[in-house]
Amino acid sequence: MDFNFIKEVIPMYGEATLLTLRIGFTGIILSFLTGIFCAIVRYGKIPVLNLIVRIYTELSRNTPLLIQLFFLYFALPRMGIKLTGEQCGIIGLTFLGGSYMAETFRSSLETVGKNQLESGMCIGLNKRQLVQYVVLPQAMAVSVPGLVANIIFLLKETSVFSAVALADLMYVAKDLIGLYYKTEESLLLLVIAYFVILLPISFAAYFIEKKVNFNRS
């Protein structure tokens, strides 16, 4: 194990980690918003939009992120639409993550009992108020485990961004292996980098879920 080499390349992994986090969390936030919108459409069975969301969900969940990135990065320029690697990463992650978030939120929305909806209607709440004050707060609490699982899944999916020339963690690791043949050192730093990114999220999720469950009990 060449520790001098590890010391020299740590700054490269630091920059790649920041890039991965920036693209990852931007895509996750947009996925979150997309998922809420799609879940509400599916839950409310809104005409036309419901069909569009169902098609989007099936298309997104049944195609790999790598294929989606290839389409954005290589196919769209032939149609006159040019995107940077970072834009492709954010759009691809949002497209994939939105469908997973939508299914998580939709299943959570359906856990709200009809008796609670009827109680809300009895006190004069309209549909928008029912969703805002009765359905969403309870659904958000139920969705915490699935939401965290999706976040971790999407952050791990960023490992394919190197396919569209993004200097993310995987790109740096492959580049160093190809240049210096330092396979063990490069992969060790790659594992550590993802561990540092994902472990705090897992701990935060544990405490949030514990607090949510305590408040619900």
d(CA 21, CA 200) in angstroms, rounded, equals: 13
Which pLDDT tens digits describe the chain residue by residue (217 residues)?
777 888 888 888 888 889 888 998 999 999 999 998 998 888 878 888 889 999 999 999 888 888 988 898 888 888 888 888 888 889 999 999 999 999 888 888 777 777 777 677 777 777 777 777 777 777 777 777 888 888 888 888 888 888 777 778 888 888 888 888 888 888 898 899 888 888 888 888 777 777 766 555 5
pTM metric for this prediction: 0.82
The answer for residues whose C-beta is within 8 angstroms of residue 19's C-beta and 6 or more apart is 86, 166, 167, 168
d(CA 160, CA 179) in angstroms, rounded, equals: 20
The answer for residues whose C-beta is within 8 angstroms of residue 77's C-beta and 6 or more apart is 83
Q: What is the pLDDT of residue 83?
A: 86
d(CA 156, CA 67) in angstroms, rounded, equals: 16
Q: At what angle do helices 169-180 and 183-216 cross, to 10 degrees?
A: 160
